[in-house]
Chains A and B, each alone.
Chain A
Amino acid sequence: MKDNPEYQNQTLEEEVLIKRSQRGDLEAAGLLIVRYQDRLYNTILKICSNPEDAAELTQETFVKVLEKITDFRGKSSFYTWLFRIGVNLTLNFCKRRGRLVMQSIDGSGGDESERATARLSGYLLCREKADPVGLAQDKEAREIVLRALGRLDEEQRVVLVLRDIEGLSYQEIAEILDIELGTVKSRISRARAGLRDMLEAVLA
């Protein structure tokens, strides 16, 4: 990916935006925010499970990042640095808030929910062919998956979000969470197994 000319152009453009932001250029800072706001918000939302909290934490992350942007030396990518601050803020927030309110991961009941459960079950237990994108668009099915994700403990939820939803590499996750590569791998495997167990319990 790093050999891709488009990627190189984006990186170059990002460097310019960072340098301009370091000189106090608010327009450049605004462009950096627009570039990453959806991905950061999406990740934080999947970790903290509440849209209002996610919006607030996303804003706070950008404020902190832009306040400290003169300290950014480019040792890691800007994206990794941004996510490191955002994820740590979110984890601290989750710890202060206490455990998430335990929710039932069953659907809210009704035909729609039953249909979604059946589709999910058929798909995940490999009983039928299905299009994962189409399934993920199904609101009821998505809710079941997200509730199950929300019931994982925070450490496992974070690695799963960063790896399987955000698509970060082991190395990037290790940098963001400041943990060893081996710890990243073991947490990912525990998290996947945990999520599978929860979904199987509902869908079986």
Chain B
Amino acid sequence: MNEQEREQIDSLIHGFLDGELNERQRTELKRLAQHNPVIRKELHALFRQKELLGALPIEKAPDGLKDEVLARLERRLILSSETAVPSSRIGRLHLVLRWTAAAAAMALLPLAILGLLVLQIVQPPEPAVGPAAVPVQEQTAEFLPDKTPSAPKEDTVLVLGNLKFLTDQPIAVNDSIKKAVVSHKLLPSASSERFEDHAVYRIQCPQGQMLSFMKTLESVWGLCSKQQFVLAGGDSSASRSVVVEGIRPDQMEELIRQTSPSRLLTAASHLERVNRRGLSDAAIRVPAEETGGGEKTLLPVEPRLAWEKEQTAEESSVSGGPVVVLVIEVRNLTEKK
């Protein structure tokens, strides 16, 4: 039997086992098996092997698999919805302002160069009195992390993060947010987008105004089954997202009061731990490097007190303060018909 014949016979045997042969092929295999004991033996052995594999009992999936899958799915959906706000969601006004600013800068650049040339011609240069490193240092200082507390700058924009509401009363929640936006005259600096099952608001205003806005929103908490605050990690791969489950209105106000990204991160991290352990849990110890002073203990009932006191002096003026940005997401829990 050559290799080609062998392949043909194999094809007939496996086709027979799988019920894929036509009448002519079946007759051919029957004839071959009757005259060749090797083929007959092989056919029988493979038939029994297939029969045995098919008879192996079906192993049942572990108990609770469905619940575990649904829980995982829910966790992933929550996490994936908390990514940074895409540029398409940023308000049109904001984009127009950016384009205008860029165009103005382009137009002014030749004038500035011309002005410098004229100045150099008219005013002879002063003799150098020190290394040129000084202005460079001043320039780079803006990009260094703020190690020491400093008064908030009026032109600083602090992105707070995402406040997420899950509710089965989306109409009432969205109405409350819209009314709060209107009553605090935030319309020019706010934008919103509606999706099939959720709505996203982007609010940008001075810190004091945001605090007042948040106080108006307190009633929304009662309409929602779940609240969550997410502080997205930065560009650095080392940065992580902080997720504060079950955030309360007073905790949101504490976050809004923060004056720098690093303070915001510290405060959100504390709240994440506090809420995760539950308010009835024992007091939480905060290591010295996080408080900026000695080791402190946060009382579960008022977790904010320990670090709030350190900042009251610089937070006394809440009417203005840095400009803050907050994204609010309202996710609909009701089933669509």
Which residues of A line the B interface, CB within 8 A?
A: 23-26, 29-30, 33-34, 37-42, 45-46, 51, 55, 58-59, 62-63, 66-67, 123-126, 132-133, 135-137, 142, 145-146, 149, 160, 163-165, 167, 170, 185, 188-189, 192-193, 195-196, 199
Q: B interface, by DSSP: helix, strand, loop or mixed?
A: helix
A57 to chain B, nearest CB (A): 11
B14-29 vs A: 1/0 string, CB under 8 Å? Answer: 1001101000000000
A59 CA to B67 CA in the complex, in Å?
10
Known: A58-B61, A63-B73, A196-B46. 12 other contacts (CB 8 A): A26-B70, A33-B65, A41-B62, A42-B58, A51-B59, A63-B72, A124-B48, A124-B49, A136-B57, A189-B14, A196-B45, A199-B49
**Nearest residue, chain A, Cβ from B68:** A59
Given known A25-B335, A30-B70, contact A196–B49 (CB-CB < 8 A): yes
B104 to chain A, nearest CB (A): 44
Number of interchain pairs (Cβ within 8 Å): 120
A133 CA to B51 CA in the complex, in Å?
9
Contacts of B56 in A (CB 8 A): 46, 136, 142, 145-146, 165
Contacts of B44 in A (CB 8 A): 126
A123 CA to B10 CA in the complex, in Å?
22
CB atoms of B14 and A188 under 8 A apart = yes
CB atoms of A29 and B73 under 8 A apart = yes
Give the contacting residue for A195; candidates B41, B49, B57, B336; CB below 8 A: B49
- Is B133 interfacial (CB 8 A cutoff)? no
Contacts of B60 in A (CB 8 A): 38, 41
CB atoms of A185 and B14 under 8 A apart = yes
**Nearest residue, chain A, Cβ from B15:** A185
Given known A41-B65, A42-B59, A55-B65, contact A189–B10 (CB-CB < 8 A): yes
- Interface size range of chain B in the complex: 35 or more
Specify which of B55, B72, B197, B336 lies most central, judged by the most chain A CB atoms within 10 Å of its CB: B55
**Nearest residue, chain B, Cβ from A65:** B69
Contacts of A42 in B (CB 8 A): 58-59, 61
Give the contacting residue for B69; candidates A66, A164, A167; CB below 8 A: A66
A149 CA to B50 CA in the complex, in Å?
12
Contacts of B14 in A (CB 8 A): 185, 188-189, 192
B10 to chain A, nearest CB (A): 5
A66 CA to B80 CA in the complex, in Å?
14
CB atoms of B11 and A185 under 8 A apart = yes
CB atoms of A33 and B66 under 8 A apart = yes
| A-B contacts, 22 listed (Cβ < 8 Å) | A23-B335, A24-B335, A26-B70, A38-B58, A39-B58, A41-B65, A51-B62, A59-B65, A67-B77, A132-B51, A132-B52, A133-B55, A135-B55, A136-B52, A136-B56, A142-B56, A142-B57, A164-B54, A185-B11, A192-B14, A192-B50, A193-B10
